């Protein structure tokens, strides 16, 4: 197996991520989503939000490395990604994020054995209230 299964359960150190208006706008442009919640602060406030709202897949931009995982990027394929929210992420949020290894397993496919790595990033506000959970599966071949 390309990753030692003993890393399951290991976590990163908590990392603070400050959500910025410019990053939200740039991400929305990059994904081609012109929802005014992502670009027009006055509109977002009229809708009851404190500031711009981040698109649902925005936490993809958060880089929370787990020191127990070393990957050769040329062997990595994106397998799956999902997000769950307790509340929307908005500009001005400061989130404390931790990356945890959830599972490592092996399957055989057409190209031979593949290792699957499942990680989960959880983000909470500075008061400790959960904000989001992002689960990712990558495939190493």
pLDDT-derived band at 50 (thresholds 50, 70, 90) equals very high
Structural domain boundaries enclosing 99: 5-18+61-140
pLDDT-derived band at 52 (thresholds 50, 70, 90) equals very high
Q: What is the pLDDT of residues 83-137, one digit of tens each?
A: 999 999 999 999 999 999 999 999 998 888 999 999 999 999 999 999 999 999 9
Q: Mean pLDDT, to the nearest integer, of 40-52?
A: 98
**How many CB atoms sit inside 10 A of residue 64's CB?**
20
Residue 134 in domain: yes
Residue 30: what pLDDT?
A: 97
Residue 135 in domain: yes
Residue 39, pLDDT above cutoff 90 = yes
Q: What is the CATH number of the domain that holds 122?
A: 3.10.129.10
Using alpha carbons, list the distances in angstroms from residue 29 to 41, 47, 81, 118. 15, 21, 20, 28
Residue 73: what pLDDT?
A: 85
Residue 65 in domain: yes
Residue 25: what pLDDT?
A: 98
Q: What is the pLDDT of residues 4-28, one digit of tens each?
A: 999 999 999 999 999 999 999 999 9
Residue 88 in domain: yes
**How many CB atoms sit inside 10 A of residue 110's CB?**
5
Q: How many domains does the chain have?
A: 1
The torsion angles phi and psi of 54, rounded to 5 degrees, stand at -80, 140
Residue 52 in domain: no
The structure's pTM equals: 0.90
């Amino acid at each position: 197996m390309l990753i030692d299964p003993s890393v399951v359960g290991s976590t990163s150190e908590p990392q603070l991520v400050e959500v910025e208006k410019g990053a939200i706008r740039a991400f929305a442009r990059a994904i081609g989503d012109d929802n005014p919640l992502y670009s027009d602060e006055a509109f977002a406030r009229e809708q009851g939000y404190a500031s711009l709202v981040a698109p649902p897949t925005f936490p993809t931009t958060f880089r929370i490395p787990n020191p127990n995982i070393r990957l050769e990027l040329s062997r990595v394929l994106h397998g799956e990604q999902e997000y769950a929210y307790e509340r929307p992420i908005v500009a001005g949020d400061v989130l404390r994020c931790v990356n945890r290894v959830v599972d490592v397993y092996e399957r055989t496919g057409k190209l031979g054995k593949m290792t699957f790595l499942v990680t989960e990033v959880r983000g909470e506000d500075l008061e400790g209230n959960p904000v989001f959970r992002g689960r990712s599966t990558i495939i190493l071949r």
